[in-house]
């Protein structure tokens, strides 16, 4: 049994692209309130229920050359891309985190990936994904070191308060909503995972990445900086992910 446990990483790497497929379904359905658990996937164009062979991650898309095998409709390369991204998260997590923490990290990373993608497309961070991260993060923190659970509880409350305060300040100064409560819930979830010590670093990475991306976009497309509403969730997710992997949470 212990021998088998040593090869837990193989299972994680096999599971990762399948989780990626599931993430693709969640992203397509959750923002519209459609059910996504335990339903067979169907082609969005012809509604033909897909066979298990069609659903093999990455390979299924490559074999069908990015088209539905029934009606020939093009299937977005976003689907194999997210399957690859989910695999990348598992590899990254395994490379940095020891033992079962690689699984916990993958779960965190996959949820962040889902949130980032939904926010990029719909400018919303669903409670169904941010809120469960709070108890999950606190449980992992407790399992790693029960003595430091308090840091993570403070991180949760502090993360929410920090964004809420920013939002209030922005509203007073500009008279409109600059940052959503979804971002506050995401940083609260992040605080549960990285502890209050990781909040400043996570926010800093997120802000720098967002500034860089927006400046690049403005340059490439000739848009005015701050000219339109842009999602902050993907950058916050990236900042929290980096902080969780390399930040103040150390495993003795």
CA atoms within 13 A on the CB side of 252: 7
Closest approach of Zn ion to the CB of residue 70, in Å: 4
Closest CA to 117 of 108, 104, 126, 107: 126
# residues near Zn ion by CB under 5 A: 7
Residue number, 77 or 226, with CB nearest to Zn ion = 77
Task: Note whether 107 and 159 are within 8 A (CB).
Answer: no
Closest approach of Zn ion to the CB of residue 85, in Å: 24
Q: How many helices (H) and strands (E) does the chain have?
A: 10, 0
Convert 4-17 to b/e letters by CB count within 10 Å (16 or more is b): eeeeebeebeebbb
Task: Note whether 55 and 83 are within 8 A (CB).
Answer: no
In the region spanning residues 28 to 57, those forming contacts with Zn ion, defined by CB under 5 A, are 43, 45-46
Cα–Cα distances in angstroms (integers) from residue 59 to residues 15, 64, 227, in the given order: 14, 8, 40
Closest approach of Zn ion to the CB of residue 73, in Å: 5
- What 3-state class would DSSP assign to 125? coil
- What 3-state class would DSSP assign to 51? coil
Closest approach of Zn ion to the CB of residue 29, in Å: 17
Residue number, 55 or 124, with CB nearest to Zn ion = 55
Binding mask 149-168 for Zn ion (x = CB under 5 A): --------------------
Residue number, 79 or 244, with CB nearest to Zn ion = 79
Closest approach of Zn ion to the CB of residue 41, in Å: 11
CA separation for the pair 62, 230 (Å, rounded): 32
CA separation for the pair 82, 114 (Å, rounded): 9
Closest approach of Zn ion to the CB of residue 49, in Å: 10
Residue number, 73 or 213, with CB nearest to Zn ion = 73
In the region spanning residues 59 to 78, those forming contacts with Zn ion, defined by CB under 5 A, are 68, 70-71, 73
Local structure of residue 35 (DSSP, 8 states):
-
Residue number, 45 or 81, with CB nearest to Zn ion = 45
Residue number, 59 or 73, with CB nearest to Zn ion = 73
Q: Which residues bind Zn ion (CB under 5 A)?
A: 43, 45-46, 68, 70-71, 73
């Amino acid at each position: 049994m212990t021998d088998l446990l040593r090869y837990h990483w193989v299972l994680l790497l096999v599971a990762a692209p399948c989780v990626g497929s599931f993430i693709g379904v969640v992203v397509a359905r959750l923002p519209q309130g459609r059910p996504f658990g335990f339903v067979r996937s169907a082609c969005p164009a012809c509604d033909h229920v897909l066979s298990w062979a069609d659903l093999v991650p990455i390979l299924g898309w490559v074999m069908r050359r990015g088209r539905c095998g029934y009606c020939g409709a093009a299937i977005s390369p976003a689907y194999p891309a997210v399957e690859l991204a989910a695999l990348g998260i598992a590899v990254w997590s395994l490379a940095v985190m020891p033992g079962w923490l690689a699984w916990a990290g993958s779960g965190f990373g996959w949820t962040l990936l889902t949130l980032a993608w939904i926010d990029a497309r719909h400018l919303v961070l669903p409670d169904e994904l941010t809120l469960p991260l709070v108890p999950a993060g606190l449980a992992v923190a407790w399992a790693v070191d029960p003595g430091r659970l308090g840091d993570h509880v403070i991180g949760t409350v502090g993360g929410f308060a920090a964004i809420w305060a920013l939002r209030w300040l922005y509203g007073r100064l500009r008279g409109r909503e600059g940052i959503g409560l979804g971002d506050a819930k995401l940083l609260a979830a992040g605080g549960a995972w990285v502890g209050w010590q990781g909040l400043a670093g996570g926010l800093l990475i997120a802000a720098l990445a967002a500034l860089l991306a927006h400046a690049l976009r403005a340059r490439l497309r000739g848009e005015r900086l701050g000219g339109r509403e842009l999602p902050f969730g993907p950058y916050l997710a990236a900042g929290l992910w980096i902080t969780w992997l390399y930040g103040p949470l150390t495993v003795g």
